[in-house]
Amino acid sequence: MIKKYLIERCSWLILFIGLQLLTIFIALIDPSITVRPVLYIVFLSTVILVVFVIVRYQKETAFYKQLGDSDYDLTDINKGTSPFEKIVEERLDGQTKQYKNELTQHNIKLEQEKDELLSWIHEVKTPLTAMQLMIERVEDKKVKEQLKYEWLRMYLLLDQQLHQKRILFMENDLYIEQTNLEPLIFQEIKALQSWCIRKGIGFDVSLEIEEVLTDAKWLAFIIRQLLTNAIKYTESADISITSYREQQHTTLAIKDHGRGIDAKDLPRIFDRGFTSTTAHQDTASSGMGLYLVKNALKPLHIKISVQSNVGEGSTFTLTFPNKNEFVAITGM
């Protein structure tokens, strides 16, 4: 700040130095003026200037130091004292109010758009349900399976979009309870059955631990995304789902035998929009599924880990919290 202040007052300092040099020059060329008293006056003037600059620096920079330390909230900044400081303060205050009003309007529009989108998704589910009933009446098995597959793709896309909008307010929707894993998992497998039959995929489910403490609806969504991800990159192989106790925590592992994930991609697979570096031209992936899984796991206090080798498949492991880890947020 000192350097900036001196640069700001550079013209004044140059003017002072110029005037002192002019005084000395006049004393040197004018025989009637004694040089020594003039030098004494110049010295005193310089000392006075230094003291003046120090005092003014403390006073003039206090307001701007506060501006530099603040973010967007200017309410804690002391009022300007000089006319220029008041001009800056009024201008900043006006701009801040304008930006806050614009931000409020944008937030209102975003909320309206979100509500409209959620409403649209719910409305679309009605014709989707009707389509499902119509598909069941199709007699041609080949056509029927094709229609089921395309219907499932639309359903999963809508479901992902719905949860993407809800996940921002997920903590308001949590209901932590003892959840039975077996019916939940088999329900998700059944929903994906037409896709699995098409790709020749089976399931090996072995649950040593049958219950976990969590939100059943959001856990179903997480498992649905992990199963969808496994099925997408697996051909004619089984997907195993196991639960067991490890280090006093319940663990659920979903293992596929698909194409696997390159080691350099593992740190990024939960990033928004990231697909792959090894199969970058693959348009089947949106890069949203695992991103939503990661965000849904946080409020549930569930940890996720991934082990994968290219060409051998991937294992996604969910580690559930104990009951005492929910006490702080649920009062159980």
pLDDT digits (tens, 9 = 90+) for 41-62: 989 999 998 898 888 888 777 7
- For all residues of the chain together, what is the average pLDDT? 84
Average pLDDT over residues 325-331: 55
Q: Which of 78-82, 125-129, 130-134 has the lowest mean pLDDT?
A: 78-82
- What pLDDT, on the 0 to 100 scale, is given for residue 286? 65
Q: To which residue do tokens 């230094």 refer?
A: 50
Q: Environment class of residue 218 by beta-carbon count within 10 Å: exposed (0-12), middle (13-18) or buried (19+)? A: buried
The one-character DSSP state at 106 is H
Helix residue spans in the chain (DSSP H): 2-8, 10-29, 35-69, 83-136, 141-166, 181-191, 193-199, 216-232, 289-300, 327-330
- What pLDDT, on the 0 to 100 scale, is given for residue 86? 73
- What pLDDT, on the 0 to 100 scale, is given for residue 273? 77
Measured between alpha carbons, how far is residue 119 from residues 130, 215, 292 in Å?
Answer: 18, 24, 20
Average pLDDT over residues 292-296: 92
Most confidently modeled range among 71-80, 107-116, 184-193, 266-275: 184-193
- What pLDDT, on the 0 to 100 scale, is given for residue 288? 84
Query: In the chain, what percentage of residues exceed pLDDT 70?
Result: 88
pLDDT confidence bin for 37, thresholds 50/70/90: confident
Evaluate if residue 331 carries a pLDDT over 60: no
For the stretch 83-96, pLDDT in tens is: 776 777 777 777 77
Q: Which of 61-70, 173-182, 255-264, 269-278 has the lowest mean pLDDT?
A: 61-70
Cα–Cα distance, 120 to 168 (Å, whole number):
18
For the stretch 209-234, pLDDT in tens is: 999 999 999 999 999 999 999 998 88
Establish how many alpha carbons lie within 13 A of residue 277's alpha carbon, considering only the half-sphere containing its beta carbon. Answer: 8
Cα–Cα distance, 251 to 158 (Å, whole number):
29
